Amino acid sequence: MTDAALDLFAIDAGSTEPPYRQLHDGVLRAISDGRLTPGAKLPTVRGLAAHLGLAANTIASAYRALEADGVVEGRGRAGTFVSLGDDPVDAAARKAALEAVERLRSLGVTGERAERLLTETVRGRIV
């Protein structure tokens, strides 16, 4: 995860809200405003704890609460990700889209070119 992505996560030391609640609510806000999208990988517990200067247990508590709310999903050693959604078809479609984007990235195709190729494919294949 890049430094810019880590900057999505911040704690206000002067707040009356506990850090785990600030983190929990911050993730919800980032999802609501589109800064975090379905399938996005969250920072590791240790990495985010180091970035924020908090105990790893604080980060883990926030992640567990988010998982209990169905907002994120833990995938073992792969990490913690923003949930792909409740609708199984939407979740499967998002997963397929994420896999396509990763494949395009591995081919060196990024940004507008990838978007153009995917859009052309959808328009030509899905009625």
Q: In this predicted model, what pLDDT tens digit does every residue of 14-25 receive, in sequence order?
A: 999 999 999 999
- Amino acid 88: pLDDT: 64
The pTM of the full predicted model, rounded to 2 decimals, is 0.69
Question: Domain residues for 116?
Answer: 88-125
Per 3-state DSSP, the chain is made up of helix, strand and coil in percentages (nearest 5) of: 60, 5, 35
Looking at the structure, tell me whether residues 73 and 104 fall in a common domain: no
Q: Which CATH number do you get for residue 49?
A: 1.10.10.10
For 2, 19, 43, 100, the CA distances from 52, given in Å and listed in that order, are 14, 10, 11, 33
Looking at the structure, tell me whether residues 16 and 45 fall in a common domain: yes
Looking at the structure, tell me whether residues 53 and 67 fall in a common domain: yes
Looking at the structure, tell me whether residues 65 and 111 fall in a common domain: no
Nearest 5°: phi and psi at 80? -115, 135
Tokens representing 71?
A: 């907002």
Looking at the structure, tell me whether residues 107 and 52 fall in a common domain: no
Q: Assess contact for 82 and 42: CB atoms under 8 A.
A: yes
What residues pair up with 74 in beta bridges, in sequence order?
Answer: 80
Give the residues of the chain that fall short of pLDDT 70: 1-5, 88, 126-127
